[in-house]
A and B are shown apart, each in its own frame.
Chain A
Amino acid sequence: EIVLTQSPGTLSLSPGEGATLSCRASQTVSSSYLAWYQQKSGQAPRLLIYGAFSRATGIPDRFSGSGSGTDFTLTISRLEPEDSAVYYCQHYGNLIWTFGQGTKVEIK
Chain B
Amino acid sequence: EVQLLESGGGLVQPGGSLRLSCAASGFTFSSHGMSWVRQAPGKGLEWVSSISGGGGNTKYADSVKGRFTISRDNSKYTLDVQMNSLRVEDTAIYYCAKVAGNWGAGYFDLWGRGTLVTVSS
Contact = CB atoms under 8 A, between A and B. Distances in A.
Name B's interface SS.
strand
Interface in B16-48: 35, 37, 44-47
A84 to B, nearest CB: 17
A23 interface: no
Contacts, number: 58
Contacts of A86: 44
Interface in B81-111: 95, 100, 104-111
B113 A97 contact: no
Contacts of B105: 33, 92-95
A99 B107 contact: no
Interface residues of A, number: 24
| Interface size of B as a range | 20 to 34
Nearest to A46: B111
Given A44-B114, A45-B45, A101-B44, A95 B104 contact: yes
B50 interface: yes
Given A50-B109, A93-B105, A99-B46, 15 more contacts: A33-B105, A35-B108, A45-B108, A50-B107, A56-B109, A88-B45, A90-B45, A90-B107, A92-B107, A93-B104, A95-B104, A97-B47, A98-B47, A99-B45, A99-B47
Interface of B: 35, 37, 44-47, 50, 59, 95, 100, 104-114
Interface of A: 33, 35, 37, 39, 43-47, 50, 56, 86, 88, 90, 92-95, 97-102
